[in-house]
Structure 1
Amino acid sequence: MEKKKIVVVGSSNMDMVVKTNHIPVPGETVLSGSFFMNPGGKGANQAVAIARLGGEVSFISKMGNDVFGKQFIQLFSDEGIDTRYILSDEELPSGVALITVDDAGENSIVVASGANSNLLVKDLDGARDAISKAAILLVQLEIPMDTVTAAVQFAHQNGVKVILNPAPANVLSQELLEAVYILTPNKTEASMISGITVTDLASAEEAAKRICSKGAKNVVVTMGALGAVICENGACSLVPTRKVETIDTTAAGDVFNGALAVAVSENKSLKEAVDFACGGAAISVTRMGAQASIPYRTELIAQELQPGRYSNVDKET
C-alpha cells in the first residue's frame, strides 16, 4: 500500500493519571485511587496513532530540555515517527497533564502546557518544506492559535488537506475555517463553534451544517458511543461505532483523528475514513492510558472480521 506523508503539528505531555471510583468535586478528597504515568498530549497521541495504523508521519512540536523531553524523543523514534522537527525549549519544561479517570471511563484533565505554549510561528520555518510536500496536515489547539493558523494557512496555500481537531474548545475565525478540509469537533466543541447546543443526533447535524456554512469543507462531529455525524456536500449521516466496554476515554479523540488522517491519506471516502477512525477509537477506550491505549493496524483488521460489531443505531440521520 502506497504511503502518503502526514504532518502533525501539536503538543506533547506527560500524563499523570489517577484511576478512582469517581471524579472529586471541588473541596473533596478521594483516597481510593491508583496512579501511573503515560506519554500523552493531543499532538503526540495523534502522531503515534498515525504511525501504528500504517501512516508515514512527521511530528512538529516543542518540549523541555528535561527527562520527559528526552524520553519523548526516544519513544517517538521507536514508533517510527520522523522527529527531525521537534524542538527543545531551554527555559520551559515539557508539558504535563493531570488526569482523573472514574469507574465509567470518563475523565477530567488539567494541563500545564510548558514548552507547548512556546511553539511559535517562527518554529515552523524549518519544517515548511515537509508541510508543503505532505498529503495531510493534522493540527489541534494545545499550542498557540497563531501557530495553528500559520500552519493551516501555509498548508492550504500549498494544496495540502488540513484536518483540524478543535480541541480544547476555542473560537475559530472564518478565515481559519475556510482553509480546513475536515473539522473534527466533539459535542462541546461543535456547540461553541456553531452556536447550537449539541445534545443529540439532530442537533449535531444542525451544528455540522452551520459550521460548514462558516467555511469548513467537511465536518465530523464525534458523538461518543453513538459514533460520528458527518456533513459532506450539505448532506449529513451517522457513522456508527462499535459495541465495546469503556474503561478509559483518554485519547479516544486523538486516536480517532490519527486514524482519520491515515484513511484520508489512503484516498478512502469520508464515510470509509470515519468508519476506520471509529474502529480505532473503540479499541482505545477499552484500555487505560493515552498512548498505551492506541491500537495497531492489525487490530483494526481483526476487528472488522468480528460479527455484530456495530451499536444498535441507524446509519442515516
Structure 2
Amino acid sequence: MIGVIGSSNMDIVLTVEKFTNPGETQKAISLEYFPGGKGANQAVTAAKLSNNDVYFFTSLGNDDFGKSLAMNFDKFGIKGYVYTDLPTGRAYIEVTKSGCNRIIIFEGANSFITPEIIENKLDILKEYKYFLLQNEIPFETSFHIAKTLKSKKKIIIFDPAPAQNIKKEIFEYVDYFTPNEEEFKYLSETFFNLNPEKQLKETLRNFFGLGVKNIILKRGEKEIILYNRNSILKIPVFKMHKVVDTTAAGDVFNGALAVALEEGKNIKEAIKFAAAAAGISVTRKGAQSSIPTRNEVDNFLSSK
C-alpha cells in the first residue's frame, strides 16, 4: 500500500499569452481554480491508478478552499488529512498558451506538518510500504519521515520540488530520487559545486556516495534516464500531439511510479507506466483534473 506525506494547495491558475516580464502588466486570458499541491497530486494519482488504499497525511485550513480539497479526497477514498487554523496552502500558477508554467507557492497550512505531528501518526504509517515525499512541507519533516520509515524497511520515493532548502543528509534514506533537470542541476551545484551537464560522472558518484539508490531524471519531452550504481537506462517518453498544461506532470509520474512498483513491475516497466500517465496528463488542464484513470493508462499503453 502507498502512503503520501505532503502538501495540499488550491491552484489559482492564470492563463496568459506569455510569461509576464518584470515591470510588465498583462491581462489574463482566464482565471481558474483547481485542487493541487504536490503531495495531493501524487496521492490522487495513486488513488486513481491503484486498487489498494492510499493514505495521505496532509493539513488543510478551516476555510472554503480546505473544505473543497477535503471533498475531493473523499471522492477518491483518500484518508489521513487533518484541519488547522492556518489558511489552506495556495499555488499561484501562470500558464502560457503553449502549456508552459511557472509557480509561486504559499505554504499556509502545509507548515503544520512537523516532525512532532508525524510521530503521532507512525502507528498508521508503518502499515504502508511505499512512501511518496516532496518538498512543499517543512524539510525537517520530510527528513524525519525518511529516516524513521527507512528504519522500518519502507521504500522512499523523494521528489525534490521545490529544490531549495534541501539538505543532503536525506539521501541516505532515499530509494528513488526523482528530480527534473533544473532541480538536479541546482542540487548538484549546491551540494558539490558541480555542473551535471559537464561533470556528470563526478556528480553521480557524489550522489551515490550520499546513499541514494536510484536517480530517475525527468526531462520533459526528452527521454527519462535511470541512474544507479550498476547501470544507466534510457526510457523514451511518449510524444503527445497537443500539450495543454504541464503543471502536474511530474507529480502524476511519481504517483504512477509508486503504483507500478507496488504492483511488482520492474523499474523499466514502472517508468514506462509512469511516463504514460504523465503524458496523458499534459493534454489536459489543471493538476488533479488532468490525472488519468487506470483504464486510460492501460488502454494508452496497449495501443503503443
Q: 1:253 aligns with which of 250, 255, 263?
A: 250
CA distance in 1, matches of 2:174, 2:54: 19
1:192: Cα distance to partner?
2.2
Give the letter aligned to residue 295 of structure 1. P
* 2:112 matches 1:114: no
Q: Does 1:236 align with 2:232?
A: yes
Superposition deviation, residue 162 in structure 1: 0.4
Query: Which of 260, 279, 282 is matched with 1:285 structurally?
Result: 282
- CA deviations 1:172-212 (Å, max 9, x no partner) are 4443101111110111111122234355xx87676445422
Shift of 1:232: 2.6
- Where structure 1 has 5 or more consecutive residues not aligned to the other structure, the ranges are 308-317
1:298 maps to what in 2? 295
CA contact (8 A) 2:160 2:183 kept: yes
1:268 corresponds to 2:262 = no
1:101-125 Cα distance to aligned partner (Å, 9 max, x none): 0122110111111011221111113
1:225 corresponds to which residue? 221
TM norm structure 1: 0.89
Q: How many residues align?
A: 298
The residue aligned with 1:7 is 3
Determine what percentage of the aligned residue pairs are the same residue: 38
Alignment of 1:173-212 (within 5 A): 173-195=167-189, 196-198=194-196, 207-212=203-208
With over 3 angstroms needed to count, the CA separation of the structure-2 counterparts of 1:209 and 1:187, relative to structure 1, is: farther
Q: How far does residue 234 in structure 1 lie from its aligned partner after superposition?
A: 3.0
Q: Which amino acid aligns with 1:260?
A: L
- The AA in structure 2 aligned to 1:100 is E
Question: Aligned pair 1:37/2:45, yes or no?
Answer: no
- Distance verdict in 2 for CA 1:25–1:138, change over 3 Å: same
In the TM superposition, residue 137 of structure 1 has moved relative to its aligned partner by 1.0
Runs of 4+ off more than 4 Å:
202-209
Deviations 1:83-138 (A, max 9, x none): xx322112x10011110101221101111110112211111133202222211011
Aligned to 2:98: 104
SS in 1 for 2:163: coil
Q: 1:89 aligns with which of 84, 89, 102?
A: 84
Match of 1:166 in 2: 160
Tell me the SS of whatever aligns to 1:226. Answer: coil
Match of 2:49 in 1: 53
One-letter code aligned to 1:64: G
Contact conserved, 1:209 with 1:234, CA < 8 A, in 2? no
Where 2:232 maps in the other structure, the secondary structure is strand
1-side partners of 2:60 and 2:29: how far apart?
29
Structure 2 gaps, min length 5:
none
Structure 2 Cα separation of the partners of residues 41 and 239 of structure 1: 27
Range with bigger deviation, 130-139 or 140-149: 130-139
Q: Which moved more, 1:209-218 or 1:256-265?
A: 209-218
- In structure 1, what is the Cα distance between the partners aligned to 2:290 and 2:204? 29
For the residues of structure 1 that align with 2:96 and 2:196, how far apart are their CA atoms?
Answer: 24
RMSD of aligned residue pairs (Cα, Å): 1.7
Supply the distance in 2 between the matched residues of 1:231 and 1:169 (Cα, whole angstroms).
19
SS in 2 for 1:225: coil
Contact 1:14 1:97 in 2 (8 A): yes
Counterpart-to-counterpart distance in 1, 2:61 and 2:112: 10
Is the aligned partner of 1:67 residue 2:61?
no
Deviation per CA, 1:13-70, whole angstroms, max 9, x where unpaired?
Answer: 0001011111111111122511110000000000000001115210001111111111
Match of residue 118 from structure 2: 124
Q: Per-residue CA shift, 1:128-151, capped at 9, x if unaligned? A: 022222110110000001111111
Q: Distance in 2 between matches of 1:290 and 1:260?
A: 17
